[in-house]
Structure 1
Amino acid sequence: MWIVALPALPALLNIPSQAFAAGDGPKRAKPKYNVLFIAVDDLNNDLGIYGNTFVKSPNIDRLARRGVRFDKAYTQFPLCSPSRSSLLTGQRPDVTKIYELQTHFRKNLPDIVTLPQLFKNNDYYSARVGKIFHYGVPGQIGTDGLDDPDSWNHRANPKGRDKTEEPLIKNLTPDRGLGSALAWRATEGTDDEQTDGMIANEAIKIMTEKKNEPFFLAVGFFRPHTPYVAPKKYFDMYPADQVPLPEEVPNDLDDIPEAALFTKPPHWGLDEAKRREALRAYYATITFMDAQVGRLIDAVDKLKLAEKTIIVLWSDHGYNVGQHGQWMKQSLFENSARVPLIISVPGAAKGKASGRTVELLDIYPTLAELCGLDPKQRLQGKSLVPLLKNPSAVWDKPAYTQVRRGQIFGRSVRTERFRYTEWDGGKAGVELYDHQKDPGEFTNLAKDSNFVITVNELAALLRKGYPETEQQAGK
């Protein structure tokens, strides 16, 4: 486990020399970077910049060209509240003890200083628009949800027609509630009438009002979280008969532990036509959300904030769209554990990609170091500043992801080549996938005699990441 206690640091420590203006030197008084902190709900890596040429994401792609794209970034828990609680406190789920959607992290960590609270405590204007801490979607849209009042100077909870028109949503899995269903609506009207459009408007208003003072502005979009609602024009970009379904292979589930499966039966019994219908809607809402991200980037440029604003875009977890018959999150397969992560820092690398394994947990210490702020508490992530300077820098940190399945845990470690997973400490199954040869995770090598050494090495690495809990899984 990596523990980072950050001392007070100059704002530009370890940032390339071009980050200094001409004639400036290290003795210059440190500037205060703004932070535009963009959270996206349930977004996987089906984006143009990550190689999916079918999905239209021109604005996120544009942001990636302004910064560093992390190709192997992972959530700590593929479920909204555990993931967000971990990222925003800088602590792993086994420290926050948040494994579900009801408990507020302050019940277990009453005195923790959150990432936005750190900025607020250091004279930044800290504001939230939309979903940053957990909200039930769509039930709690327009409310504070499980927000943390101590983290903000200002909070805004827009609510658009996607919320008011819920009775018109089509649910392809009617035995599941809208928040965990394959459900969609192609609506009339404009982007501005949707909750995410209203979120972008409010965020731009705040940036405009606060452009002359340092701010930490957290903008949390609800889409593409189900129900997949967006204006009809975005659905029109994706003809249903052209939507490609993920590759599946015969007998794929034969070597997968039962505990690894969230969607039962596979695809919840939906035929290919309905799966294309759901995936079309998911992609339409990605493109709708992407348009709102574009408006934020445009506002940064129009307000002449680009040279003093760090922009971070992240998703709380990935999302299965049919791989292994699985949908949504709550699994430890790659599509559920892997997340998009883009960080743009003025004067640092642009248009670069890093193939190092990193975690959402690393965002807190990264922003603290970039802005010269001292968290005055232990953080369990590792600053990504070296990778922002050199995306191929030497890096030996794996990524850990876990999920709870009933009363047992699944725990996974991801290196640059392998994913290794144990369910209930191995008693309910073990998985090993070689991503160099099998990026789709179709062949479980855990029982292959050729990989005995690899299994033993990764089992030890897994225990290193969960030193206090691995032997107590399920207890």
Structure 2
Amino acid sequence: MNLLLIMADEHRRDAMGCAGHPVVRTPHLDALAAGGVRYTSAYCTSPLCVPSRASFASGRYVHETGCWDNAAPYKGQPVSWGRLLKENGVDVTTIGKLDFDGTHDHGFDDARFPAYRKEHSGGGAFDRHPPKPAARGKERLADSGTGSFWTERVERETSEAIYFLMNEVPHKSRPWVLWLNYLPPHFPLIAPEPYSRLYPEEKVDMPFDLPAADRHPVVQQMREYYNMTDLDESTVRRARSAYYGLCTLIDDQVGRVMAALEASGQADNTLIVYTSDHGDQLGDHELWWKGSMYETSVGVPLLVSGPAIEPGIVDDTPVSLVDLSATILDMFGIEAPSGWRGTSLLKLMEQPDPERAVFSEYHAHGASTGLFMIRRGPLKLVHYEGFEPELFHLEEDPQELRSLSREPEWQTARTELEHALAAIADTAAVDLAARSDQSLRREQREERKRQ
């Protein structure tokens, strides 16, 4: 068995035709979903690039990796599944963005066009108490529209993947993994032609909950940090149009790569996975990009297809990217190290667990305190360290417009979720650890500036 893993960046869970989106078209992802399982409740472990990818690589939660923010890239510890697979005779190749620290041994030796992240380089990571306003928030959206910003990069990565499948795979004598990473639909929201013309602005849907009814102080802090309120309708429509165009751009790349896999003769012996490192809020709840615990930010697409996977399944079980990490080890018969989080999706397919809980956390720019999420069944608790929590019933309120945290009839459920959260993380201690580490790194950065 082999693995083709395709990971986009900032692709929100609902932005696919197969997810019922009213505007965006993704025929190749729809076909992939029809041939396997689409998870409707998949989550990242942190709605931010570096922490999410470090967690996925190591199978651990963010507070266990210490990769709190975009200025703390993964350095190879805890050990990555890339290293474990190599030690067990599986060839691993990555193409595209990793967001790791390239000066350390992260375990993914065959990394092509990896787009590494420098330590101490994550804007805003050290300025959380209180958050300093982000630079060029509105300007970034105003720049959305048509252009060739992503064209060369995406074509390079797709061509490399096709070359790998057509010219290298046929000569391999060992199982292999190809982890293909695309940056779009990550901002800047600039779509090349013809994708920039696919979704006319006047036909693009507008964000929901705009202006936002929920004024939770931490979420409101994020809105003020990005300075993305009071946007004109034309800018909002243009940005959403470009985002949808980038989603279809990536869908077309998936189609090209899938065709190459079929031509390689390995399609019948390869598990195929499509996902993203986090979502994008696109103006919903008066928020853009990521960083919150709303579904639009913390939710990710997750499609799994391949041999022995029953087609046409829509699975509502809450799952996480660390479950995907566990799946990668499981499919190659590798025992997970002690402390490894997550449960293999292959095992969950055989023994469903509808009451399982998934967890996410956020400790980075825009938020002066730690954010923690636990989802179990239809209920989701968002814990803001030092502030009132929020509780949502996602079946009755999928857009998360009404918190139930103060409703008397929901206090038992709230308490149960708070206990489940406490079993995963001591939120106060984790928040303090993140703050302390960021303060230390800020001091180190300032010291280097003085030298």
Normalised by the length of structure 2, the TM-score is 0.84
Structure 2 residue 308 is matched with structure 1 residue 323? no
Distance 1:414 1:35 in 2: 28
Structure 2 residue 197 is matched with structure 1 residue 239? no
Mapped contact 1:90–1:381 kept (Cα < 8 A): yes
From 444, 450, 461, the equivalent of 2:420 is 461
Aligned residue identity for 2:231:
L
Aligned residue identity for 2:108:
W
From 141, 146, 151, the equivalent of 2:107 is 151
1:244-283 aligned at under 5 Å gives the runs 244-248=205-209, 252-254=213-215, 256-259=216-219, 261-264=221-224, 267-283=228-244
Deviations, residues 244-300 of structure 1 (Å, cap 9, x unaligned) = 01222676124x233465222774331111101111111111111111111111111
Give the aligned partner of residue 120 of structure 1. 86
Distance 1:220 1:472 in 2: 30
Distance 1:113 1:180 in 2: 36
% identical equivalent positions: 26
Aligned residue identity for 1:444:
S
Distance 2:341 2:353 in 1: 19
Structure 2 residue 48 is matched with structure 1 residue 79? yes
Mapped contact 2:38–2:302 kept (Cα < 8 A): yes
Give the aligned partner of residue 44 of structure 1. 12
Structure 2 residue 98 is matched with structure 1 residue 132? yes
Give the aligned partner of residue 393 of structure 2. 434
Matched residues, number: 409
Q: Cα RMSD over matched residues? A: 2.6
Distance 1:272 1:461 in 2: 42
Distance 1:155 1:471 in 2: 35
Distance 2:164 2:113 in 1: 14
1:289-304 aligned at under 5 Å gives the runs 289-304=250-265
Give the aligned partner of residue 164 of structure 1. none
Could you tell me how far 1:324 is from its partner in structure 2? 1.1
Structure 2 residue 355 is matched with structure 1 residue 396? yes
Where 2:169 maps in the other structure, the secondary structure is coil
Mapped contact 1:158–1:198 kept (Cα < 8 A): no
Name stretches of at least 5 consecutive residues in structure 1 with no aligned partner: 1-32, 135-144, 160-172
Aligned residue identity for 2:203:
Q
Aligned residue identity for 2:157:
I
Distance 2:158 2:192 in 1: 15
Mapped contact 1:57–1:290 kept (Cα < 8 A): yes
Structure 2 residue 57 is matched with structure 1 residue 88? yes
Structure 2 residue 314 is matched with structure 1 residue 349? no
Deviations, residues 6-43 of structure 1 (Å, cap 9, x unaligned) = xxxxxxxxxxxxxxxxxxxxxxxxxxx11111110010
Structure 2 residue 160 is matched with structure 1 residue 202? yes
Could you tell me how far 1:152 is from its partner in structure 2? 2.9
Mapped contact 2:45–2:321 kept (Cα < 8 A): yes
Distance 2:85 2:332 in 1: 9
Mapped contact 1:184–1:278 kept (Cα < 8 A): yes
Aligned residue identity for 1:399:
V
Cα distance change on mapping 1:182 and 1:249 into 2, 3 Å: closer
Distance 1:174 1:408 in 2: 17
Aligned residue identity for 1:207:
L
Where 2:318 maps in the other structure, the secondary structure is strand
1:406-445 aligned at under 5 Å gives the runs 406-424=367-385, 427-445=386-404
Mapped contact 1:313–1:343 kept (Cα < 8 A): yes
Could you tell me how far 1:435 is from its partner in structure 2? 1.3
Normalised by the length of structure 1, the TM-score is 0.80
Name stretches of at least 5 consecutive residues in structure 2 with no aligned partner: 116-132, 434-451
Cα distance change on mapping 1:209 and 1:91 into 2, 3 Å: same
Deviations, residues 153-201 of structure 1 (Å, cap 9, x unaligned) = 4222189xxxxxxxxxxxxx99427997564342369x9x521121011
Where 1:311 maps in the other structure, the secondary structure is strand
Quick check: which one's strand share is greater?
Answer: 1
Where 2:324 maps in the other structure, the secondary structure is helix
Where 1:374 maps in the other structure, the secondary structure is coil
Distance 1:243 1:146 in 2: 40
Cα distance change on mapping 1:158 and 1:104 into 2, 3 Å: closer
